[in-house]
A and B are shown apart, each in its own frame.
Chain A
């Protein structure tokens, strides 16, 4: 009987083998079914295996050392409750992406660029979660990054994708550099890179602060924290849709896993000031992410920006957990931590669902631009229903899962008066306000996305001639929609499954939720708040049925279809409809004027002319222009100067060597 850790590693090995097999099989038509079928089976097996362990006795920690990698270190692997939870999230996402791709992948015009890297990407993410020393961690992390980069570059001839791949590569290298330095500081002068040794050693003072900052840079750039998010809305949509779903729904979670592993597990008890940084970054990320999303016309880019918002919400949960933990307040810390983990699961569910939906729309119409979609609800009924469920869930509306995790986060925010520091007492409610703003804007954003894509009249011939997608894709989306509903109606089950993780990391668990009557959840105390998903579902179902019946009974006429009223225009064209841009205009006016320097320009024709008036909106990405633009300009200037060093005379080179030598000697003379 293999240990659970060995079993997980053998799945990773099998995924890598499938990846090699895919190099050969990609040439044949059968390759698609074989490869995605194999990844579906492997991910399901891996996910179900750890899920059983997590629900059963999550506390068991298993270690495994393989004699590969650095000769004196070997490769350490470890399976505990935290990695088990993330393994469930990742393999669930991987399995459903494979199921989706069984249908979606048939439309791929360059399968040899996707098939070999897809299993490798899954294997990389699994390895990151299992790694138990800094070396294997960084190796797996880089493997994951490179595999996903290859997938981003799958359609490299499409405009913008090559640039997306380049920006991604630069940011990924930067993130790995930050992680490398963080592990260097963690290992200290003794240089023991095993996580057990790092966990045992005390960390405090400047080194601990530096590690936290470096982790925020390294893991934060992969997760998409503002202002390190710039690569994410470029790279995630550039990949094929099932890979976009994995990158957005799952890979960002691997980055968050890295942050939790280092900051909560390896670093020991943090200082409360650390939580201020995490909280403010999380709040800013949530609001900025969703505002970016609102300004967006491209459906997949909108979803990618919304990922940034959700990462912000998760980081707010983690920041709250840090704040409570630093003050020794275990129960609120466990609540905030559980809320963050719950949101991680939820986001992976509904973001995968929405990206699958966007992929289905892309297959059916060839369009990502919402200005050219519309009316799909009549042509793609199944996709539009599941997309609606995903949109409702991500907008944090009951009875779906998004509401529960955001409600739990707000419950944690409401515990903030217990905190002794006045700074936090004042700051946390403000962050709560930002979260509320982000949640409301998210609802507006998905009203826009759903309304523009699925409702209204088709804005292009492609949208008019769309057809429903294949059954595999619909099955994958339907399963995700069902899971969104189940996690929203029975949140107690999920919270109880998360309890071992919180017990392992924070050494405290919330009270069991499944024993409570009527499937309610009461995170802290009945007086402080409780939620019953079943009750809300029942209320919604009964009131909707009654309303429907009432309309049927009281309405005097049968339903009739008539031409849409054109506001008096003789020939109303579909482009004259309310567009996604018009929907976002009030929000662009209110927030964008400051944050995006948004300006609307109206050019009126001169009197007497019959030319149409022209309206255009101008937006600036200030983060990109001010931060990255400046950095790029500095690098450009420096490298232009240094370019002359390529063309020195012999004496010039000698002088350079000589000057360097003398400078180094002077450094020694001063320091030694």
Chain B
């Protein structure tokens, strides 16, 4: 039973990393939102599984938050925003897809090397979970860095929070208060960034952050 539980949580976390990779090569906004919704669904499944094997019912709440807000509300809202703004749905990447994927692999290898070495004394489940969580965080950062589009930076930021939630639930005995605050912080960040996007759009008719630089009169 124990090894089965371990395998399932392991594969769920691995799936999360895989979906993070999928985010790296999306070049349309809508498909990026869909992948993000999938990301949140897998996160919810992973958290729910942790709740079951750890006998920690409060984690179900976290899973529910992840499912409702991140998998449904936020992607739907983002879809609506894009439609209302009527902006260009292509994502301009800075670096090509191939090098980005290679860099992502390097980051995953790096987080494995570090986490497995640093947490040599922790139990196996937490070790794997932490390693995957760090990979997710780094890949999300990579998404944020390699995209010019502000909306995809928002998505990268929220998938980064997913990685943090994964790390938090992997460790036993994380109190609910923390998770709720994490969830709300994402929501607030989403709202703030949403408003921010509208403001940028109103001003520049685009959400390409390069326009901000041009407005400051520095480049091009």
Interface residues of chain A, those whose CB is within 8 Å of chain B, are 647, 649-651, 654-655, 657-658, 661-662, 665-666, 668-669, 672
Contacts and interface: CB of A to CB of B under 8 A. Distances in A.
13 contacts: A650-B153, A650-B212, A651-B147, A654-B144, A654-B153, A657-B141, A658-B141, A658-B145, A661-B138, A662-B107, A665-B111, A669-B113, A669-B117
A651, A665, A666, A668 pick with most chain B CB within 10 angstroms: A651
Binding site of B, secondary structure by majority: helix, strand, loop or mixed?
helix
B213 interface: yes
Contact of A649 (B107, B117, B144, B210): B210
Q: How large is the interface on B (under 10, 10 to 19, 20 to 34, 35 or more residues)?
A: 20 to 34
A668 B153 contact: no
B213 A649 contact: yes
Contacts of A668: 114, 118
B94 interface: yes
Nearest to B94: A651
Contacts of A655: 145
B141 A654 contact: yes
A662 B216 CA distance: 30
Interface in B60-118: 94, 107, 110-111, 113-114, 117-118
B142 interface: yes
Interface in B99-151: 107, 110-111, 113-114, 117-118, 138, 141-142, 144-145, 147-148, 150
Contacts of B118: 668, 672
B209 interface: yes
Interface string B134-177: 00001001101101101001000000000000000000000000
Nearest to A661: B141
Contacts of B153: 650-651, 654
B110 A654 contact: no
B86 to A, nearest CB: 23
A649 B149 CA distance: 12
Nearest to A659: B145
A649 B142 CA distance: 16
A669 to B, nearest CB: 5
Interface of B: 94, 107, 110-111, 113-114, 117-118, 138, 141-142, 144-145, 147-148, 150, 153, 209-210, 212-213, 216, 218
A649 B110 contact: no
Contacts of B210: 649
Nearest to A668: B114
Given A665-B114, A669-B114, A672-B114, A651 B145 contact: yes
B212 A649 contact: yes
A658 B140 CA distance: 10
B177 to A, nearest CB: 27
Given A655-B145, A658-B142, A666 B209 contact: no
Given A658-B142, A669-B117, A651 B218 contact: no
Nearest to B142: A658
Contacts of B142: 658
B141 A666 contact: no
B163 to A, nearest CB: 13
Contact of B110 (A650, A657, A658, A669): A669
Nearest to B134: A665
A670 to B, nearest CB: 9
Nearest to B211: A649
Contacts of B138: 661-662
Contacts of A651: 94, 144-145, 147-148, 153, 209
A665 B110 contact: yes
Contacts of B113: 669
Q: Which 6 A-B pairs have the closest CB atoms?
A: A658-B141, A655-B145, A669-B113, A649-B213, A669-B114, A672-B117
Nearest to B214: A649
A665 B114 CA distance: 7
Contacts of B111: 665
A167 B213 CA distance: 38
Nearest to B117: A672
A110 B113 CA distance: 66
A655 B145 CA distance: 5
Given A649-B212, A650-B209, 9 more contacts: A649-B210, A650-B153, A651-B94, A651-B144, A651-B145, A651-B148, A661-B138, A665-B114, A669-B114
A669 B113 CA distance: 6
Nearest to B120: A672
A651 B114 CA distance: 26
Contacts of A654: 141, 144-145, 153
A672 to B, nearest CB: 5
Contacts of B145: 651, 654-655, 658
Contacts of B107: 662
Nearest to B209: A650
B188 to A, nearest CB: 19
A657 B153 CA distance: 14
A56 to B, nearest CB: 61
A651 B143 CA distance: 11
Nearest to B149: A651
Nearest to A649: B213
A666 to B, nearest CB: 7
